[in-house]
Chain A
Amino acid sequence: MYLIVNFLEQSKLLAAKRFVLQREYFDTFKQAFPNYKQLLQKGIYQCIIYFSREKYKAAYCAQRGSLYYNTDKLEIIFNDFKELDVTSGDIHKRLRRHGYVKGWINRKDKIYLPLVCIIEDEDDFEEIRKNMPSGVIRDSDFLARLRKLEKQNDWKGMCDLFEPLEKIREKDIWNDPDVLYGVGFACSKMADFERERLKEKGYLENKRRYRELCIEILKRCCELDSHNYSHVLALGYRHYKNVLELTQPKGRRDGNVKKEIELALEWNNRALELNPDSIKAHYRIGRIMDKRVDNYRYSVKQWSKEVFDAIEEMEFNAVGHLEKAVELYEKIGEHEKAKKDNHREYVRSLYSLAKYYCEKTQMNDWLYQYYLLNLLNGQFQIKQIMEQDKRNLNAAKEYIDKCFESLFNTKPNPDIDFTHLASQYDENSELKKLSIIDMLYRMGLIYLYLYFMEVIRGKNSSINMEEYGNKAGTYLRAAKRVANLYRSKGVNRRNTYYINNWLAWYYILTGNLKSAEHEIKGAKDGYVKCTYAIVLLLFKQDSKYTLAEQILEPLLNDDKSRSRAAVLLACIYRLSGQEQKYSRLISGIAQKHNMWARRFIAKIESERNKR
């Protein structure tokens, strides 16, 4: 038998020359080596000592020593050491790997690396002690080399095998679809864009190079083997990623979205022709069609019934594909490989559907309308909220709950420790299929809308009201907490005011205006400023009206927020009796503002005229 002992620091070893393993540390040891007595009875041939706090320092080999143990503790006394030419860090790394391979480290069963490890086999011990390069010398064909590098996610290594890739046409592998597919796949991974690095010199050019090579290589694969679903799907995936990269906020803008959307649809549809049950293709088509709706919306100059019909049809198709992806996934047997392979697409389809149905409602407009009408003593009728909205919200709730359950194997419930869940989720990259912040935010928003519906139906309108409110608040607060946790770790520094915005709405709905104000006071985005303005209005104080007015007036020049700001300003003018300003504002409303603003102003005007 061989022992490997973890001392914290070198000085402690040299001073004490003994190591005692007891209490919880001995328990960890016993968990990893339940038959330790039998093993230790065989005698110890050699012992390595490494220092976990000083990984750069050399490990030691104990030349002589003695060992005592009973059921409570293990004690080792060292008489003589020899410094090795291997660092403690190397020993630690090799030992951990060995522990996982042998199964005595098992995160699932919460068995971690003990401070003392027993190595039974001399070869294993020597491999650790000598820190020999893993694996013997190998010669492999391209496919085997690609597979090995792929397992290590070494996309650059895969591409480097065939550099310069610009000359790949001249190489023999140009006629080998299997090898080309591996290279194309690696290029696709290398082309993946991270917006945080957008400003790095040469970054965009580098990404473009791999993108273009990927498309060239994968097209060749499809030429050589046009009936191969994987090749076609991979090409479709590249175009799909291009669409996402070109449309994400602060993403790259060095491409033609419209063209990429068409290409992504073309190749993913081809993949569907080859495999009509492809969950990945259905999901991607669904997402791209959704992007096409957005793109189409921006390009419309003249809105008409035909335009609305066209959008509705596109949305219908997008939802159809996403729902098909969900349906196909749920048909897969519990232990089939496809279940694991397509889980990411399933979860994301559920999330996309929840998001779609949530955004399909016009609850944000209803919220404004409800509070502004209340302020102006107007009448807000529950009937105004269409049945369709209720159905959409229920569908969104169903999808988001299912999404959560599928991702975490537990039903969503406000008692879960989400910060703990997030840190666990974070450690397991396998699970990284969806941003947990997005998930919690979306859950909070859906429950907030449901809560709002109950609120406007009157106090204690249903037994669900408290539950919805509680869930909305919990999930939104959890989303914020997780975002802060990530920010403190430096993992994700994205702006989370969109969460604060809805949390503020939650506080408005629960009548806690101070908290609402606190939540969004310093916001810079127009839509959050509008929420802030409504909070100020709800205080019903002149000083707050003035502050709200100051915040909103500059927003009249903001393309995204001007209609909402105009409506809010109109209300302030009315409430503060600034009739002149009010008249001037509503006289221009038809030209500059959207349908919602025009309708709302028309409504309050007509109610005023009635009075």
Chain B
Amino acid sequence: MRVDRLDETLIFESQDKELFLSCFQEPRKLPEYIEKEILKLVFDSLKLDINGNDDVTLLIKRLPTPFINKVIFDVESMFSDEMSLYSDGVHESAALYLGRHLSYLMYYLPVNVFKVWKPLVDLQVKDKLKWKMRILDIGTGPGSVAVGIMEYYRMMAEAFPYLNFVLSFVLLDGQREFLTIAKRLINSLTAYMPPNLFVSIEESICRTLDSPEDISVSGEFDLITMSNFLTINEMRNSQNAVAIVSALKDSLKKDGSVIIIENGIKNNCLSFKTIRNDLVNQGVYNVYSPCNGIWQPKKEYSCTCFNMVRCFWEIPLIYKFLRDHGLKKGGRYDVPFNYAILRKDGKTKYRAEGNNRFYVQLKDLREYIDRTVNVKAIIRTVIDRGDKISVSLCDGSMDLGIDDDSSAVWIEPVDKEWLVKKGLNLPIVAAEKITLKKVKVIAHGTFVVIPRLRMQGSTEIEIEY
């Protein structure tokens, strides 16, 4: 890897490919030191003594049972309707998180850490990350996104010890307690960073963003991140989202990116896509990824399809402990979420293909029933059904609504083992570009013919990351 002398972006050398493929190959594992620092923070907040030599398993066992029970109760109930809606129907995040910051830290920080890796990889593969990044993290919470970015850069710093990396965060949240937790956690984690990675918190701003005027940050940023900030749980944010995110444009460098990450719940997906569509259709931003048009650049978005990306991870020790003590949540090895990377320079992860001579667009598939065709598309969503997976595709030629999942183009379920035997090394992940050659179109549906794709022995599969 090298740094471009003009724009300071990190440029891949061809041999670096393996490192980035490893982001997909194995499930992510939350480093034990992060879990330990989370627990140390909890111990500190509870004013309990701590033995610095204890490992995570020993530490967690020393937590008082009433506290464990509270955490489990908080996690199970925090975003349930009756707890989160107040009489005026408006969420008050101060009330929502009241007394629950530590519970949120223990459960929601780990699950959110690796979500940001996917957009970071999207930026990285097209050389859009820099060695030195100034990041504005809006709705920091306990610091999940910042920790995720630190971990990503740690991986790079260790792989490329001859390069220096600098991360400078401006944290913004309406909850002072969260900001305190985030600052302490980030500062304590810097001790685990390699010497060629410098992490600092430039500023932490405690402010509720009720309107665009509330955004007043100095300077421009390479990256602006928002994780679970526009969720309908954070009702005010959601209502003002378009205005808030639009206003951030002035704080974004001309080659900077806005990363929005939301959870994989259907209602959130609808809200998130509506906000995205408005932002793009009003000409504020363009979508860098995912959802690029395959055959022509997508200038307008009206699609609100329900899809999600998954991040595979190993269940952390804290989760295992909580589950052993009665927590019902937290058993998933795949974490579903939605994301969008917005930019203002018109750049996209996948550029529109010039030559479609040998391919069929998804909207035209029904004319090719029982024929073998070539298809190029973005993986819209992947559904894991044990030994099999189902994959849905989008090439930008069809607009779907939130409930139109069955009208989308799906690949018939295929054995995971069969894919491995065919030589695919990595699990199929949504939001990547897939090329299928010699795939058969079959008719599905009783009253309306919906084309589906069937993989055959001679089908060639290629996925671009």
Number of contacting residues on B, CB 8 A? 36
Contact check, B4 vs A138: say whether CB atoms are below 8 A apart: no
Per the bound structure, the CA–CA distance linking A147 and B6 in Å amounts to 37
Given A137-B125, A139-B426, A178-B457, check contact A82 B462 (CB 8 Å): no
Verify if A595 is at the interface (C-beta below 8 Å from B).
no
Residues of B within 8 A of A178 (CB): 457-458
CB distance from B373 to the nearest CB of A (A): 16
Which residue of the partner chain, among B13, B458, B463, contacts A138 with CB atoms under 8 Å? B463
Given A132-B127, A133-B13, A144-B437, check contact A139 B460 (CB 8 Å): no
Which residue of the partner chain, among B17, B421, B425, B464, contacts A176 with CB atoms under 8 Å? B421
Verify if A130 is at the interface (C-beta below 8 Å from B).
yes
Per the bound structure, the CA–CA distance linking A83 and B6 in Å amounts to 9
Verify if B11 is at the interface (C-beta below 8 Å from A).
yes
Contact check, A140 vs B463: say whether CB atoms are below 8 A apart: yes
Residues of B within 8 A of A177 (CB): 457
Given A137-B21, A137-B465, check contact A144 B5 (CB 8 Å): no
B-facing residues in A111-138 (Cβ within 8 Å): 122-123, 126, 129-130, 132-133, 135-138
Contact check, A147 vs B460: say whether CB atoms are below 8 A apart: yes
Residues of B within 8 A of A147 (CB): 437, 460
B-facing residues in A121-178 (Cβ within 8 Å): 122-123, 126, 129-130, 132-133, 135-145, 147-148, 161, 172-173, 176-178
Contact check, B462 vs A139: say whether CB atoms are below 8 A apart: yes
Contact check, B2 vs A85: say whether CB atoms are below 8 A apart: yes
CB distance from A439 to the nearest CB of B (A): 35
Which residue of the partner chain, among A84, A142, A144, A161, contacts B6 with CB atoms under 8 Å? A84
Contact check, B465 vs A136: say whether CB atoms are below 8 A apart: yes
- Can you list, as one digit per residue, whether each of B303-324 has a CB less than 8 Å from chain A (1) or not (0)? 0000000000000000000000
Task: Identify which of A137, A176, A177 gathers the most chain B CB atoms within 10 Å of its CB.
Answer: A137
Verify if A91 is at the interface (C-beta below 8 Å from B).
no
Residues of A within 8 A of B11 (CB): 130, 132
Given A82-B6, A123-B351, A130-B127, check contact A140 B461 (CB 8 Å): yes
Residues of B within 8 A of A161 (CB): 423
Task: Identify which of B21, B351, B460, B461 gathers the most chain A CB atoms within 10 Å of its CB.
Answer: B460
Verify if A61 is at the interface (C-beta below 8 Å from B).
yes
Verify if B383 is at the interface (C-beta below 8 Å from A).
no
Contact check, B125 vs A141: say whether CB atoms are below 8 A apart: no
Which residue of the partner chain, among B12, B24, B422, contacts A132 with CB atoms under 8 Å? B12
Per the bound structure, the CA–CA distance linking A70 and B111 in Å amounts to 63
Given A132-B127, A176-B457, check contact A141 B5 (CB 8 Å): no
Given A123-B347, A136-B126, check contact A141 B6 (CB 8 Å): no
Task: Identify which of A135, A139, A143, A145 gathers the most chain B CB atoms within 10 Å of its CB.
Answer: A139
Task: Identify which of B13, B419, B426, B457 gathers the most chain A CB atoms within 10 Å of its CB.
Answer: B457
- Can you list, as one digit per residue, whether each of B448-459 has a CB less than 8 Å from chain A (1) or not (0)? 000000000111
Q: Closest B-chain residue to A102, C-beta based?
A: B354
Per the bound structure, the CA–CA distance linking A126 and B126 in Å amounts to 10
Per the bound structure, the CA–CA distance linking A404 and B164 in Å amounts to 63
Contact check, A133 vs B12: say whether CB atoms are below 8 A apart: yes
Contact check, A140 vs B462: say whether CB atoms are below 8 A apart: yes
B-facing residues in A176-224 (Cβ within 8 Å): 176-179
Per the bound structure, the CA–CA distance linking A122 and B11 in Å amounts to 16
A-facing residues in B114-161 (Cβ within 8 Å): 125-127
Residues of B within 8 A of A145 (CB): 423
Verify if B295 is at the interface (C-beta below 8 Å from A).
no
Which residue of the partner chain, among A130, A144, A172, contacts B462 with CB atoms under 8 Å? A144
Per the bound structure, the CA–CA distance linking A159 and B239 in Å amounts to 58
Contact check, A144 vs B14: say whether CB atoms are below 8 A apart: no
Verify if B94 is at the interface (C-beta below 8 Å from A).
no
Per the bound structure, the CA–CA distance linking A190 and B419 in Å amounts to 28
Per the bound structure, the CA–CA distance linking A129 and B11 in Å amounts to 11
Contact check, A137 vs B459: say whether CB atoms are below 8 A apart: no
Given A173-B421, A176-B421, check contact A139 B463 (CB 8 Å): yes
Contact check, B421 vs A139: say whether CB atoms are below 8 A apart: no
Contact check, A143 vs B425: say whether CB atoms are below 8 A apart: no
Verify if B424 is at the interface (C-beta below 8 Å from A).
yes
CB distance from B7 to the nearest CB of A (A): 8
Q: Closest A-chain residue to B457, C-beta based?
A: A178
Verify if B435 is at the interface (C-beta below 8 Å from A).
yes
Residues of A within 8 A of B14 (CB): 133
CB distance from A145 to the nearest CB of B (A): 7
Contact check, B6 vs A61: say whether CB atoms are below 8 A apart: yes
Per the bound structure, the CA–CA distance linking A139 and B425 in Å amounts to 7
Q: Closest B-chain residue to A121, C-beta based?
A: B351
CB distance from A47 to the nearest CB of B (A): 12
Range of interface residues on A (Cβ < 8 Å): 20 to 34
Task: Identify which of A84, A129, A140, A173 gathers the most chain B CB atoms within 10 Å of its CB.
Answer: A140
Residues of A within 8 A of B465 (CB): 136-139
Per the bound structure, the CA–CA distance linking A147 and B374 in Å amounts to 14
Contact check, A141 vs B351: say whether CB atoms are below 8 A apart: no
Verify if B20 is at the interface (C-beta below 8 Å from A).
yes
CB distance from B28 to the nearest CB of A (A): 17
Per the bound structure, the CA–CA distance linking A100 and B20 in Å amounts to 30
- Can you list, as one digit per residue, whether each of B364-397 has a CB less than 8 Å from chain A (1) or not (0)? 0000000000000000000000000000000000
Task: Identify which of A122, A141, A148 gathers the most chain B CB atoms within 10 Å of its CB.
Answer: A141
Per the bound structure, the CA–CA distance linking A138 and B18 in Å amounts to 10
Contact check, B423 vs A140: say whether CB atoms are below 8 A apart: yes
Contact check, B460 vs A138: say whether CB atoms are below 8 A apart: no
Residues of B within 8 A of A143 (CB): 422-423, 458-461
CB distance from B312 to the nearest CB of A (A): 15
Per the bound structure, the CA–CA distance linking A129 and B426 in Å amounts to 31
Per the bound structure, the CA–CA distance linking A136 and B9 in Å amounts to 16
CB distance from B303 to the nearest CB of A (A): 24
Residues of B within 8 A of A135 (CB): 464
Residues of A within 8 A of B426 (CB): 139
Residues of A within 8 A of B13 (CB): 133
Contact check, A141 vs B458: say whether CB atoms are below 8 A apart: no
Contact check, A141 vs B126: say whether CB atoms are below 8 A apart: no
Residues of B within 8 A of A122 (CB): 347
Task: Identify which of B5, B435, B465 gathers the most chain A CB atoms within 10 Å of its CB.
Answer: B5
Q: Closest B-chain residue to A126, C-beta based?
A: B127
Contact check, A138 vs B125: say whether CB atoms are below 8 A apart: no
Residues of B within 8 A of A83 (CB): 5
Q: Closest B-chain residue to A84, C-beta based?
A: B5
Contact check, A130 vs B463: say whether CB atoms are below 8 A apart: no
A-facing residues in B413-429 (Cβ within 8 Å): 419, 421-426
Contact check, A142 vs B422: say whether CB atoms are below 8 A apart: yes
Per the bound structure, the CA–CA distance linking A82 and B8 in Å amounts to 14
Contact check, A144 vs B464: say whether CB atoms are below 8 A apart: no
CB distance from B13 to the nearest CB of A (A): 7
CB distance from B333 to the nearest CB of A (A): 20
Per the bound structure, the CA–CA distance linking A144 and B439 in Å amounts to 13
Per the bound structure, the CA–CA distance linking A579 and B368 in Å amounts to 90
Contact check, A139 vs B21: say whether CB atoms are below 8 A apart: yes
Task: Identify which of A82, A143, A148, A179 gathers the most chain B CB atoms within 10 Å of its CB.
Answer: A143
Residues of B within 8 A of A141 (CB): 419, 422-424, 459-462
Residues of A within 8 A of B17 (CB): 133, 137
Cβ contacts A to B, 26 pairs, < 8 Å:
A82-B5, A85-B4, A129-B6, A132-B11, A133-B12, A137-B21, A137-B464, A137-B465, A138-B462, A138-B464, A139-B21, A139-B425, A140-B424, A140-B461, A141-B424, A141-B461, A142-B423, A143-B461, A172-B421, A173-B421, A173-B423, A176-B421, A176-B422, A178-B458, A179-B422, A179-B423
12 further contact pairs, Cβ within 8 A, besides A137-B17, A137-B21, A139-B465: A82-B5, A83-B5, A84-B5, A129-B6, A130-B127, A136-B126, A137-B125, A137-B464, A141-B419, A141-B460, A144-B437, A144-B461
State the A residues within 8 Å of B (CB). 61, 82-85, 122-123, 126, 129-130, 132-133, 135-145, 147-148, 161, 172-173, 176-179
A-B pairs with the 10 shortest C-beta distances? A142-B423, A141-B422, A140-B462, A144-B460, A133-B14, A172-B421, A144-B462, A137-B465, A141-B461, A143-B460
